[in-house]
Structure 1
Amino acid sequence: MLFLQLVISGIAQGCIYGLIALGFVLIYKATETVSFAQGELMMLGAFAGLVGMTVLGFPYWLAVISAIASMAVFGVVLERTVIRPILGQPAFSVVMLTIGIGYAARGAITMVPGIGTDTQALPVPYKDEIWKIGGNEFGVGALVLNVEHMVVIGATAVLCVLLFALFRYSKLGIAMQAASQNQLAAYYMGIPVQRLNGIAWGLAAAVAAIAGLLLAPITFVHANMGFIGLKAFPAAVVGGFGSLPGAIVGGLVIGIVESLSGFYLPDGFKDTAPYVVVLVMLMVKPNGLFGETLRKKV
């Protein structure tokens, strides 16, 4: 039972990594650049939900919807005003810009009085609830499931289905796939590539906000919670940086390995395990689990 509980806990944590990794992949497929601000976008989404509930007095579900919508708009505006003018420059410039965006976001949050300087709890209706499965009448031998973890797993599964439907059946999703394959050819075919880039950033910010809202009841809301993005990046690498399903699978792999290593291995291995997995994956399968092998003829 203990092993199973550790695996379920790892799956829940891996879902968070996978959602943030989805943002990495969405932006990379749209603009061929890597955004290291995904963790901070997740943090801003969590704070947006916190403000909606504690300051504006919204009920939980309205606060969640408003936080996701506001972060989607923020992502579109960010791409239009900050990212788009620098596209076409060396990739290193874009990477440094996104790192700077992350630092600016953390600094801006800490300057908000009464909100950004303290660690705060997101008051969700399922806080600290547990499910017990099996065991005797005294609960001995039962499988104890944290409802917060199950909500994370369930919400991630629903979001994956919605994203699959978006990219498989909608004109917008098909256009985004076409643009990710060849932006110049998509432009000549009449697809508004620049507009799709903005939508990709908005979608990535919305997914990051969902990850933040799901993580907040487990780890609280604070200005440095965005550093979890440093573990989501290995998830994107393990799954294959251009694969949306790979981002989720990579997140699950990292989450489970981290959970098991944190319990069965000595202190310190939990934080290094994701990067060990990345090193092994780069040696065995450099393109990731679902990555495509691309060759360039010179």
Structure 2
Amino acid sequence: MAWLQLTLSGIALGCIYALIALGFVMIYKATETVNFAQGEFMMLGAFAALLLTALGLPFWAAALLAVAGMAGFGALVERLAVRPILGQPQFTVVMLTIGMGYVMRGAVTMVPGFGAETHALAVPYAGKVIAAGGLVLSAEQVAVIGATALLCALLYAGFRFSKAGIAMQASSQNQLAAYYMGIPVRRLNGLVWGLSAAVAALAGLLLAPITFVHANMGLLGLKAFPAAVVGGFGSLPGAVVGGLVIGLVESFAGFYLPEGFKDVAAYVVVLLMLAIRPNGLFGGNERKRV
């Protein structure tokens, strides 16, 4: 029973990693760049919902507005900061996103009486538990698992059946060929950044009732990056599976191994994966004709 309890807790934690890793993978597939500010997008989404609820909005309205606002913010970041330097070495974009993450975190902490404190986001299901036999699950964990499953289904349907989703798939395969076929590649890149920011904001809303809202909660993105690597950096299903793997490893390491091993378990898994299967669980070998 304890093993099953740890498994469910690890799945709930892994779902958070999976949502952030989805943002990493979507942006990488669209632009072949890595957004190391993905965790800060999550943090900003949580703070936005916190601010809206403090202004008197109901939680569900605040959550929808926060996700929509972060989608617009992500598209704006791509248009103003990322698009002008596309075509430069990838290291340039990496350093830009790292710098953006520090700027976002610092900007939040400078808000007097708000940004430097730790806050609790009031959610309707806070404090409730679901008991089934000997298992006990908090409503927060159930919400994380359910929301992740629903989002994955919506993303699959969107990429599989919508015109925009099909165009994104074509653009991720070959941007130049997609451009020559009349696909608005630049507009799609902005859409992908907005979508990844919205997914990160949703992760922040789901994580906030568990770990509270604070300026450093975006550092969790450093755990989601190994999840994307384990699953395969070019695979959306791999991001979900990689997140679950990292969550389960952390859950069992925190219970069975000495203190401190939980914090490094994700990176040990990454090192093993890179040694055994460098392309990840769902990654494939890519060949380019020169």
Q: TM-score, normalised by structure 1?
A: 0.96
Distance in 2, matches of 1:183 and 1:126, equals 44
Poorly superposed stretches of 4+, deviation over 2 Å: 295-298
Query: Partner of 1:132: helix, strand, or coil?
Result: strand
1:68 match: 67
Deviations 1:44-100 (A, max 9, x none): 00001101111x211011000000000000000010001100111110010000000
The letter of the residue matching 2:41 is L
Please report how far the alpha carbon of residue 284 of structure 1 lies from its aligned counterpart in structure 2 after TM superposition. Answer: 1.1
Query: Partner of 2:131: helix, strand, or coil?
Result: strand
Query: Partner of 2:215: helix, strand, or coil?
Result: coil
Query: Partner of 1:123: helix, strand, or coil?
Result: coil
2:271 match: 279
1:119 match: 118
The letter of the residue matching 1:228 is L
2:6 match: 6
Please report how far the alpha carbon of residue 295 of structure 1 lies from its aligned counterpart in structure 2 after TM superposition. Answer: 2.4
Deviations 1:206-233 (A, max 9, x none): 0000000000000000000000000000
Deviations 1:252-297 (A, max 9, x none): 0000000000000001110111011111111111110111211235
Query: Which residue of 133, 154, 166 corresponds with 2:146?
Result: 154
Query: Partner of 2:33: helix, strand, or coil?
Result: coil
Unaligned ranges ≥5, structure 1: 135-141
Query: Partner of 1:224: helix, strand, or coil?
Result: helix
1:129 aligns with 2:128: yes
Distance in 2, matches of 1:68 and 1:24, equals 17
Q: Give the total of aligned pairs.
A: 290
2:21 match: 21
**Identical counterparts, % of pairs:** 72
Provide the alpha-carbon RMSD of the alignment. 0.7
Q: TM-score, normalised by structure 2?
A: 0.99
When structure 1 is superposed on structure 2, of 274-283 and 166-175 the one drifting more is: 274-283
1:242 aligns with 2:227: no
1:172 aligns with 2:164: yes
Distance in 2, matches of 1:46 and 1:2, equals 32
Distance in 2, matches of 1:100 and 1:87, equals 16
1:96 match: 95
Distance in 2, matches of 1:57 and 1:16, equals 27
1:109 aligns with 2:108: yes
Query: Partner of 2:127: helix, strand, or coil?
Result: coil
Query: Partner of 1:145: helix, strand, or coil?
Result: strand
1:198 match: 190
Distance in 2, matches of 1:274 and 1:62, equals 35
Distance in 2, matches of 1:71 and 1:217, equals 19
Distance in 2, matches of 1:209 and 1:277, equals 26
1:210 aligns with 2:202: yes
Please report how far the alpha carbon of residue 133 of structure 1 lies from its aligned counterpart in structure 2 after TM superposition. Answer: 1.1
Unaligned ranges ≥5, structure 2: none
The letter of the residue matching 1:21 is A
Please report how far the alpha carbon of residue 128 of structure 1 lies from its aligned counterpart in structure 2 after TM superposition. Answer: 1.5
